[in-house]
């Protein structure tokens, strides 16, 4: 069924979400804080709106912005809850802290809007291919069901993981493992390189071993061929690891690995080495620290 949907936040992820909704035949309104991000979506049939109040005229509003601060700005003064029209359901796909999700849910509830926390797992290309998955949580079961229904047109599966901000926590836990795995891949690739092992051959073996995964396969080009075109930024991963470290502190759960990898991403951001690159640029940092020069893989890079 065609629904009027608004997509708020046209970064790498928001654009991919909007493309899927347009391809499924929905009427899609799009809004971004900075101008110039909607043109490509408009050429595919989206309607660009200038204010959040205009975006809020849609039945369902899906937001994908950077972080806690950005999410808070969506429900602040002049935000999407401030105008005369409000969506029935607000679905937020941003990766945020549980407290930011709860604050957004409370503001929404006070305005008669049902809020569903729906962080996404999968980079924008994964979303484009229809393979992304979503973790869902919220306090209104009907809204959660409606969210799952519309996200069928976007991703491969939705998992209802609890009420309140449970989905935000599930997403932080998942991304902590991604960050740790990326650091591990960077370390072993540089170790192999120093030992004279071709990174393409190393990744081919890993991908076919018990620890091979969709993630190791996605990152094979990055590790073997240094294809570091950004799918997710070092800043974004640092933000998620910091949120996981904060959650560990607040809940009295020591998390030494997450803390250590947060430091590595902080170094990557502070040095500028990962600027404008994918978070897989960690490999450049590990190589620099080790004084290893990364040579091009001479083996066919495995898919
Ligand atoms: N990319 C991935 O692989 C991936 C995967 C899963 C989840 N996520 C999550 O999805 C979210 C978006 O990621 P992304 O990769 O799309 O990031 P991005 O490309 O950096 O886009 C960030 C978006 O947030 C907006 N924004 C930033 N601060 C804002 C503020 N104060 N008020 C309003 N809008 C603001 C930006 O608007 P401007 O254009 O005005 O700056 C832009 O539209 C993040 O929470 C990320 O952790 C990303």
Residue 123: which CATH number? 3.40.50.720
- 224 within some domain: yes
The answer on 222 and 96 residing in a single domain is no
CA torsion sign for 200, 206, 208, 211 is: negative
Residues 23 and 39 both lie in one domain: yes
Residue 132: inside a domain: yes
Please provide residue 57's backbone torsions phi and psi, each rounded to the nearest 5 degrees.
Answer: -75, -15
Cα 248 → chain centroid: 20
Ligand 1 centroid distance, CA of 13 (Å): 7
Indicate whether 151 and 176 sit together in one domain: no
Q: How far apart are CA 93 and CA 290, in angstroms?
A: 38
d(CA 90, CA 92): 6
Asked whether residue 221 falls in the same domain as residue 152, the answer is no
Does residue 34 form part of some domain? yes
Same domain, 130 and 231: no
Q: Residue 237 corresponds to which tokens in the numbers above?
A: 């991963």
| Residue 299 in domain | no
**Domain end point (choices 140, 164, 188):** 164
- Residue 14: CB within 6 Å of ligand 1? yes
Asked whether residue 130 is domain-assigned, the answer is yes
**In whole angstroms, how large is the CA radius of gyration of the chain?**
20
The CATH number linked to 271 is: 1.10.1040.10
| Ligand 1 centroid – CA 110 distance (Å) | 26
Tell me whether residue 302 is in a domain: no
Q: Do 158 and 14 belong to one domain?
A: yes
Instruction: Show which of 164, 182, 205 is a domain's final residue.
Output: 164
- Distance (Å) of CA 155 to CA 89, 161, 234: 18, 16, 24
Tell me: do 159 and 29 sit in the same domain: yes
Whether 181 and 202 share a structural domain: yes
- Does some domain include residue 295? no
- Nearest protein CA to atom 3 of ligand 1, as residue: 123
Phi and psi (nearest 5°) for 8?
Answer: -110, 120
Looking at 117, 138, 164, the residue that finishes a domain is 164
- 34 pocket-lining for ligand 1 (C-beta < 6 Å): yes
Closest CA to 92 of 144, 130, 132: 144
- Answer yes or no: do 160 and 16 share one domain: yes
Q: Give the number of domains in the chain.
A: 2
> What pLDDT does 300 receive?
61
Degrees, nearest 5: CA angle 93-99-105: 60
Rounded CA separation 225/302 (Å):
11
Domain, as residue range, for 113: 4-164
Residues 239 and 67 sit within 8 Å (Cβ to Cβ) = yes
The answer to whether the CB of 47 falls within 8 A of the CB of 55 is no
Judgement on whether residues 111 and 15 belong to the same structural domain of the protein: yes
Question: In this structure, are 157 and 176 located in the same domain?
Answer: no
Give the nearest ligand 1 atom to 126 CA.
3
94 close to ligand 1 (CB < 6 Angstrom): yes
Q: What is the pLDDT of residue 3?
A: 84
Atom number of ligand 1 nearest to Cα 239 = 47
Gap between the Cα atoms of 204 and 182, Å rounded: 16
214 and 123 within one domain: no
Each residue's pLDDT expressed in tens, for the chain with a length of 303 residues: 678 999 999 999 999 999 999 999 999 999 999 999 999 999 999 999 999 999 999 999 999 999 999 999 999 998 999 999 999 999 999 999 999 999 999 999 999 999 999 999 999 999 999 999 999 999 999 999 999 999 999 999 999 999 999 999 999 999 999 999 999 999 999 999 999 999 999 999 999 999 999 999 999 999 999 999 999 999 999 999 999 999 999 999 999 999 999 999 999 999 999 999 999 999 999 999 999 999 877 666 655
Q: Is 12 in the pocket of ligand 1 (CB under 6 A)?
A: yes
Answer whether 288 contacts ligand 1 (Cβ < 6 A). Answer: no
Query: Is residue 278 in a domain?
Result: yes
Mutate to test the pocket of ligand 1, among 9, 126, 129 (most ligand atoms within 8 A of CB): 9
Query: 245 Cβ partners below 8 Å, 6+ apart?
Result: 255, 258, 259, 262
DSSP state of 280: G
Within 10 angstroms of residue 191's Cβ, the number of other Cβ atoms is 14
**Which pLDDT value is given to residue 126?**
94
């Amino acid at each position: 069924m065609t629904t009027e949907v608004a997509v708020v936040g046209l970064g790498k992820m928001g654009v991919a979400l909007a493309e899927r909704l347009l391809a499924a035949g929905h009427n899609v309104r799009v809004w971004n804080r900075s101008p110039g991000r909607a043109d490509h979506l408009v050429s595919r049939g989206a309607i660009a709106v200038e204010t959040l109040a205009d975006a809020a005229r849609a039945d369902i509003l899906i937001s994908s912005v950077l972080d806690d601060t950005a999410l808070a700005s969506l429900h602040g003064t002049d935000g999407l809850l401030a105008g005369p029209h409000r969506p029935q359901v607000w679905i937020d796909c941003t990766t945020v802290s549980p407290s930011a999700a709860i604050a957004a849910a409370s503001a929404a509830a006070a305005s008669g809007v049902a809020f569903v926390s729906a962080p996404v797992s999968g980079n924008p290309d994964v979303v484009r291919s229809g393979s992304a998955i979503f973790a869902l949580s919220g306090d209104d079961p009907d809204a959660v069901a409606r969210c799952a229904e519309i996200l069928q047109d976007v991703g491969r599966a939705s998992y209802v993981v609890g009420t309140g901000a449970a989905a935000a926590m599930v997403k932080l836990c998942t991304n902590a493992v991604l960050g740790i795995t990326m650091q591990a891949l960077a370390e072993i690739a540089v170790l192999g390189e120093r030992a004279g092992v071709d990174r393409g051959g190393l990744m081919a073996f890993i991908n076919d071993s018990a620890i091979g995964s969709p993630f190791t396969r996605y990152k094979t080009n990055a590790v073997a061929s240094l294809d570091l075109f950004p799918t997710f930024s070092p800043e974004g991963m640092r933000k998620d690891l910091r949120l996981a470290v904060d959650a560990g502190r607040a809940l009295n759960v020591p998390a030494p690995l997450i803390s250590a990898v947060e430091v590595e991403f902080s170094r990557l951001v502070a040095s500028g080495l990962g600027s404008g690159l994918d978070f897989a640029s960690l490999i450049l940092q590990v190589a620099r620290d080790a004084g290893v020069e990364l040579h091009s893989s001479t083996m066919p890079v495995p898919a």
